[in-house]
Structure 1
Amino acid sequence: MSEMNGVVMSLAGKVALITGGSRGIGAATVRMFRAAGARVVFSYQAAQEQAEALVVECGGEEVCRAVRQALATPADGAALVAAAVEAFGRVDCLIVNHGIWPAHDQPIATMTDEQWRGTISINLDSVFGLVRAGVAAMQTQVRESGPGAPSSVKGHIVLIASTAAQRGEAFHADYAASKGALISLTKSLSSELAGQGILCNCVAPGWVGTEMSLAALSDPETSKKATALIPLGRIGSVEEIAGPVLFLCTPLAGFVSGEIFNVNGGAVLVG
């Protein structure tokens, strides 16, 4: 029997663009994609020191670039894709991880236009710009590389949604609506692009220990209620979200398209 060397999830030669990459799930994803051999461009908005430190940790600017880019409009998304292409010449994997979750409870009857538009613009409008420009870049790469097998995989898009997208979230209708739209977008993109070799999938995390959720989870009562709904009885780690994202961009997931990948400790069991 030949010696077994294990299964390797390699992205050698690939370029990944990861939004919101300086902290939390994004930073864990940047580290994991670099460990898999990809060159990575990631965006940040305010955490410059963390972003610069992450670039150094991941091997320096020859293989990892941080781009300061607000993401609130389609034009913002397009600008970030252009920056990634300028940095490394292509984009093979687009990971849409950025977003906001207003931590305060806000009844729908008193939610302001400003809160609604602010959440939708960041969580959805900019995603449209990212996906539109990212798909155009991938299609250009395919045309320039010449003909290949019709079913071969030429690009990956992974959108990060939430359990709130699947079951709703009282007093956070803006967030749930924006993330629910990403699930529908995933299925639409899969139907449109899979035949072109561009696979789109979605990862839907539950409660994860990030800075965004810290305000809520630091309250003992809220934390107790959250963990009570999770069969595994604990909050997830950022690495436990980054791992499935990486998997969906490897050849091991080459027959997966339009999937909603639930990573929530068993809290929500829906597609």
Structure 2
Amino acid sequence: MDGKVALITGGSRGIGAETVRLFAAAGARVAFSYRKAKEQAQALTDECGGPASCLAIEQDLRTPADGHALVGAAVKAFGRLDALVVNHGIWPAEDVPIELMTEEQWRNTIAVNLDSVFGLVQSAVGQMQLQGPPAIGDDGTKGYIVLISSTAGQRGEAMHVDYAVTKGALISLTKSLSSELAPRGIRVNCVAPGWVATDMSAETLADPEAGPRIRAGIPVGRVATTKEIAGPVLFLCTPLAGFISGEVVNVNGGAVLVG
């Protein structure tokens, strides 16, 4: 990815941080967003070469305007945008039956997980259409977009309908954008992880009842590492994936088979 620029949302920790590391190691200049984890973001920036090649941008992502602002900041810093990875999102940890879920929770999850994505994609596509081809290794593709969904977006998730709805919407968005943008040289795909060892899932996976039950449902017998999710994301943003468009790449150890 020498000569290319990537923007990764929610990049300060977990899957996002590992994705930042892999893109930087592949030669890309990387901008990534964070909301609260300033120290972690700064440490990751230093690890990946400093502000000349890796830039942390503090940005709340709840509205389309937030998405527009983040893309604008990344392009201002590095002059172009070749890959957008939409990784940020929230998963309210408490189980909430639909009849008890507040409108505030519903709207907050949709705002972060979906509304902001509209602005991100809209601005990214506009930028990719305006600029020339990637500086090095041009295969005719103008840009790559990868949306991070979830197995919950395909099979649903009881007590977490707000989260599942947003992740299902990202899958629909992937397919719609692929049909619209592939003829214009922009490849849009989706990665749908299952359980991953991150801060967000740590408490649930450590639970003496839930943890073993979760692992028992994964044929591989364990949860994923963050690198095992970041790897497919990087692949989908290279010419090696130039003929892949509109696909949902399931990375869940065989727990959910969709094809």
Using structure 2 for the length normalisation, give the TM-score: 0.97
Q: Distance in 1 between matches of 2:209 and 2:220?
A: 18
Q: Distance in 2 between matches of 1:234 and 1:116?
A: 31
Matches within 5 A, 1:91-130: 91-130=81-120
> Residue in 1 aligned with 2:248?
260
Percent sequence identity is 69
User: 1:38 aligned to 2:33?
Assistant: no
| Structure 1 moving runs of 4+ over 6 Å | none
Q: Distance in 1 between matches of 2:93 and 2:206?
A: 12
Q: Which runs of 5+ in 1 are unaligned?
A: 1-10, 146-150
Q: Distance in 1 between matches of 2:208 and 2:126?
A: 46
Matches within 5 A, 1:99-178: 99-142=89-132, 152-178=140-166
Q: Which amino acid aligns with 1:184?
A: S
> Residue in 2 aligned with 1:247?
235
Query: CA contact under 8 A between 1:208 and 1:237: conserved in structure 2?
Result: yes
Alignment deviations for residues 12-58 of structure 1 (CA, whole Å, 9 cap, x no partner): 10000000000000000000000000000000000000000000000
Q: Distance in 1 between matches of 2:222 and 2:154?
A: 20
Q: Which amino acid aligns with 1:100?
A: I
Quote the offset at 1:215 in angstroms.
2.2
SS in structure 1 at match of 2:22: helix
Q: Which runs of 5+ in 2 are unaligned?
A: 134-138
Q: Which has the larger radius of gyration?
A: 1
Alignment deviations for residues 198-239 of structure 1 (CA, whole Å, 9 cap, x no partner): 000000000000111112112121111111110001010000
Q: Report the aligned-residue RMSD.
A: 0.9
Alignment deviations for residues 137-174 of structure 1 (CA, whole Å, 9 cap, x no partner): 101114xx6xxxxx821100000000000100000000
Q: Distance in 2 between matches of 1:115 and 1:212?
A: 17
User: 1:217 aligned to 2:210?
Assistant: no
- Corresponding pairs, count: 254
Q: Distance in 1 between matches of 2:199 and 2:77?
A: 29
